[in-house]
Structure 1
Amino acid sequence: MRMCDLVKYGSGALLPGLLLAGCATLPEPPKAYLPAVDVPAIAETVPVGTANDDAADDPAIWRNAADPAASLIVGTDKKAGLYVYGLDGKVRDFLAAGALNNADLREVTLADGTKRILVAASDRTDRSQPRIALFWLEGTNGKLSEIGTETFLPADRGSAEAYGFCMGGALGENDLARAYVVLKDGTVVESALFEQGDRIVPTYIRDVKLATQSEGCVVDDATQTLYVAEEDVGIWKVPLQTVLKAEAYARVGAQDGLVDDVEGLAIARDGKERAWLVASSQGDNAYTLFDLADGSMTGRFRIGGGEIDGTSDTDGIEVVLGDFGPRFPEGLFIAQDGDNAPEAQNFKLLSWQSIREALEIE
């Protein structure tokens, strides 16, 4: 260890005059790699079109109940637009829709009784004016069609950058769903999505503020609870039945199995009324599961050990349990891969059965 390392990492034996000498470019101390089991990916998507850049970000999953193996994945290229993939990882569609960061989808029933797949994403094309980009997804052929891009903040709220995004079920009498945009300053804005002719319009409802940069979020419809990742701090839960108030859920640190940044969040709920919150522990390239029944940490895993390369620096994740065909009989987990060199970034697909067995979940 060099003298400068002793200064940076806490030695009190050096004279004050040495503290400024030659230390300006020291790297940060390495982050701890906490214990985790390896689980192999069994498929991966075609890389996004933006090469040599941090581009792929956040996936969403639509499960085709009639033909589970024909289910679809939506994923963002945050420099270019929105992809649709099949479970084979091949591109079904791409829509050049600008700088879309995080995406989610919901099946909704329109006023005329039609059921459609609504896809929405945080649009940061204009960094000073946050918007929600909205699309229809056709389950039969995987094609996207653009509905429109809508603002949602009151005019007196000033400028802000849209960052994280997730959707939850309807909470009002006439809304189709609720949209949650996580602004980069830590503000989480709830909007109701209403059908208005050919448009889907977000209407501001309320917001809650976290102290620092936040992004990942997910809604547990079963308990009407929103979970938000404050990147350098941990995970917060926000009950949606009352006035929005953030409650600490898990903290960065070995005790809760999180190494900053805390990024994507997803909820896995099975048919036995069990559920887990899954978090991307980006700082040590791992994924941490929490039992939603009591908040305890169930286990941790990394993606690796198979014929497909592993993941690192993961941003967005998604998981849906249920039958997705013979390769994913119990459910599908997807993670963005921040380093897919020599190719551009992409998304890796895992079987939930492999994760469950690796973590010895009965």
Structure 2
Amino acid sequence: MPTKLSRRDFVKLCAGSAAAISMSGLLAPYLAQAVEAGAPPVIWIQGASCTGCSISLLNTVHPDIKEVLLNTISVRYHPNLSAASGDLAVNEGIFKTARDNPKKYFLVVEGAVPTGADGMYCMVGERNGQHITFLDMVKELGSQAAAILNFGTCSAYGGLPATPPNPTGCKAVGDVVKNVPIVNVPGCPPHPDWMVGTIAHVLLYKDIPELDSFGRPKMFFSHIIHDNCERRQYFDNAIFAKNFGEPGCLLELGCKGPMAFCDSSTRPWNGGVNWCIRAGAPCLACTEPQFPGWPIYERMPEMPIGPAMTATVDQIGGVLGAAAVLGIGGHLAGNVMTGRIGGKNNEKEGDN
């Protein structure tokens, strides 16, 4: 077994399609060595969330979750999986780990941070006879961490808890803790490989991976869903489904694949079995900061393309009545110019 994995090879492994089913298994030997060599500890805490991110992690299948937790990643505390509870968990587990490893541990946060009523909407324990709010825990632990790993859209960007009217004043972790490196691994929930891969990077190299403009690891969030969508050919031929269960691109039914950055189309879920589009559902772009503050199963009036451009959905394809299209994802304009989309003689559904 090799004793060292270069960052370049690591990124290639995480981004490669061959890792779609067994990435965690391929990384396990290197991570076990890192843990034995004294890898930085990981503390996992939860706030305003549905615990779906943890459930997603439990779906890690290569190796199984027991191997991941016990021998692969150095998780010192997890609210759902740790045997300890009460004072033993909070003071001897969480805060002692932080005291003993200042600026050397990594804090995983799942869930948004309720800030209303001084954080009283989310209590997570006691210390010296006083309640501990999740707000205070995030501030204290986050300020002393080597970096914060936000797992899930709620901790990364606020997500559902921070969507208006937001009575508890939920915020993203980055709005609460400043001057600490932050990695956002969004998704509702994230793919287990995104979480294990991000933890693997910080354990192996004691540093955070390369990030995009929204703080996401580029090794998982560099491409849009639309580029490799199984229904891409429908889009290219201007065939749009009007009802669920019909063949066709799902753009009319609220699919936001042209603006969703992640690799779900090449890294299916549940052991490589399925993902949203294959299951017949539109992509909801749950990895984007705006999620879920837009129409879910309705097409959007405008589809963002880049920093300075948008295209209205009504401009897309002859089926929707348009002949001129601005373009989506860098390829649509070319399709219009070559007559593949928008012409009156396009092939209709059922034609050969």
* Larger helix percent: 2
Measured against the shorter chain, the TM-score band is under 0.3
CA radius of gyration, larger in: 2
TM-score computed with the length of structure 2 as normaliser? 0.28
TM-score computed with the length of structure 1 as normaliser? 0.27
